[in-house]
């Protein structure tokens, strides 16, 4: 009986741990997508500026 209680407790701990990891991954993905979009916009601006200013 004690072993069964310990098992259910470990399952609860695993569930909370997975939930925490999921929240962290969502935050990381959101942050990475923001950084990626910023980099893409900067690259596009540089690309357009090079094309615009290289042509005499």
- Indicate the pLDDT class of residue 5, thresholds 50, 70 and 90: low
Instruction: Give the pLDDT confidence score for residue 22 in this predicted structure.
Output: 94
- Calculate the average pLDDT of the chain: 85
DSSP state of 26: H
Q: How many domains does the chain have?
A: 1
1 pLDDT higher than 70: no
Instruction: Give the pLDDT confidence score for residue 45 in this predicted structure.
Output: 95
Encoded tokens for 10: 């470990």
Alpha-carbon gap, residue 56 to 47, rounded angstroms: 16
Residue in this structure with the two tokens 């094309």, named with its chain if needed: 51
Q: Residue 24: which domain range?
A: 1-56
Better pLDDT: 7 or 37: 37
């Amino acid at each position: 009986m004690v072993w069964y209680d310990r098992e259910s407790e470990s399952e609860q701990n695993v569930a909370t741990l997975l939930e925490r990891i999921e929240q962290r991954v969502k935050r990381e993905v959101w942050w990475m997508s923001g950084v990626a979009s910023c980099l893409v916009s900067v690259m596009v601006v540089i690309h357009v500026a090079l094309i615009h200013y290289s042509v005499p």
